[in-house]
Amino acid sequence: MIADWTDEAVSGFETRIVRTRHRLHERPMFADEGLARILELYPREALGAFTMGEDLEDWGSWVRGNVQGLSGDQLLRAVHEGRLWLNLRHANAHLPEFGDLCAEIAEEKQQRLATRILNRDLGLLISSPGARVFFHLDVPLSSLWQVRGEKRIWFYPRREPYVSDAWIERCVLRTAEGQAPFRAEWDADATTFAMLPGDMTTWPQNMPHRVDNGPMLNVSLSMEFMTPRALRRARVLHANGVLRRSLGWTPKVQEAPGPRLAAKLAFHAAHRLLNKGSRAPILPERFRITAEGKRVAA
């Protein structure tokens, strides 16, 4: 699946931005006909549909919409002609062919990287010409596989002023959707490159990034996953977020094993038992797409 596993790609996993080539774009399932069928089969209520403004600093213009009642063909046409970002999360759990694909990707990573790949979430992203994802971070590890079209990705250092531990904790606790305050001048400090069909990239956990589509329909796969190390970091951040919120502490992230890390993990486990978090979307529905592909207020 990965065409060039270099030593650099293997040694940089989880600690650096890694870029490799893949062959997924050669599979026919990602042509328009295949996509329309996928959109028909994927449970519509699980589908995340978003639109967004132009201004990079106006991250509140990222809003969720409703795409119920459209056929797969109609929905795909609306993406071609509009300004939409469709996220078919957990496609591996909903569609057998994505289940197989996810298992293939995870197996290859496990073998090459000598780690366990846990909490696997393979998402299919189908997005409009010129659509963008604002500055944000993801809680798990993530890899982006470009299949159709061209996009540009920017990565920013995982530290202040770009992002604070407190903000990362909010994302882990799901009191924030992931988007974060942004200043256009930060682009001067970013690592950026174009992604063409066959390009794959993966980056350190929680590293902030943003994405701009080129002037064509884009199809990408987003594989989110955990390793034992990433899971530990997320649990520590979770415990820290609770301590900061309830006790006003300013806790640090422990990476190395020791009594502090052990205490955080125990605290996390106890807290999670008491608070079974909801996975409902944080953003309300603000628009609806009609069968003709028009965007109207919800």
Cβ distance to Fe ion smaller for residue 70 or 223: 223
Of 185-244, binders to Fe ion (CB under 5 A) are none
Cβ distance to Fe ion smaller for residue 73 or 138: 138
Cβ distance to Fe ion smaller for residue 210 or 232: 210
Cβ distance to Fe ion smaller for residue 73 or 224: 224
Smallest separation, CB 102 to Fe ion (Å): 17
Q: Which residue is nearest to Fe ion (CB)?
A: 138
Smallest separation, CB 295 to Fe ion (Å): 24
Cβ distance to Fe ion smaller for residue 105 or 265: 105
Structure tokens at 293: 């592909």
Smallest separation, CB 224 to Fe ion (Å): 8
Smallest separation, CB 142 to Fe ion (Å): 6
Smallest separation, CB 210 to Fe ion (Å): 8
Of 120-179, binders to Fe ion (CB under 5 A) are 138
Task: Please state, in angstroms and rounded to a whole number, the distance separating the CA atoms of residues 173 and 140.
Answer: 13
Instruction: Count residues binding Fe ion (CB under 5 A).
Output: 1
Cβ distance to Fe ion smaller for residue 14 or 138: 138
Task: Please state, in angstroms and rounded to a whole number, the distance separating the CA atoms of residues 139 and 7.
Answer: 26
Is residue 2 within 8 A of residue 22, CB to CB? The reply is yes
3 state SS for the chain: CECCCCHHHHHHCCCCCEEEEECHHHCHHHCHHHHHHHHHHCCHHHCEEEECCCCCCCHHHCEEEECCCCCHHHHHHHHHHCCCEEEECCHHHHCHHHHHHHHHHHHHHHHHHCCCCEEEEEEEEEECCCCEEEEECCCCEEEEEEEECCEEEEECCCCCCCCCHHHHHHHHCCCCCCECCCCHHHHHHCEEEEECCCEEEEECCCCCEEEEECCCCEEEEEEEEECHHHHHHHHHHHHHHHHHHHHCCCCCCCCCCCHHHHHHHHHHHHHHHHCCCCCCCCCCEEEEECCCCCEEEC
Beta-carbon contacts of residue 98 (< 8 Å; ≥ 6 apart): 91, 92, 122, 124
Smallest separation, CB 28 to Fe ion (Å): 27
Cβ distance to Fe ion smaller for residue 60 or 69: 60
Smallest separation, CB 209 to Fe ion (Å): 6
Smallest separation, CB 178 to Fe ion (Å): 7
Cβ distance to Fe ion smaller for residue 138 or 212: 138
Task: Please state, in angstroms and rounded to a whole number, the distance separating the CA atoms of residues 241 and 245.
Answer: 6
In the complex, which residues of this chain contact Fe ion (CB under 5 A)?
A: 138
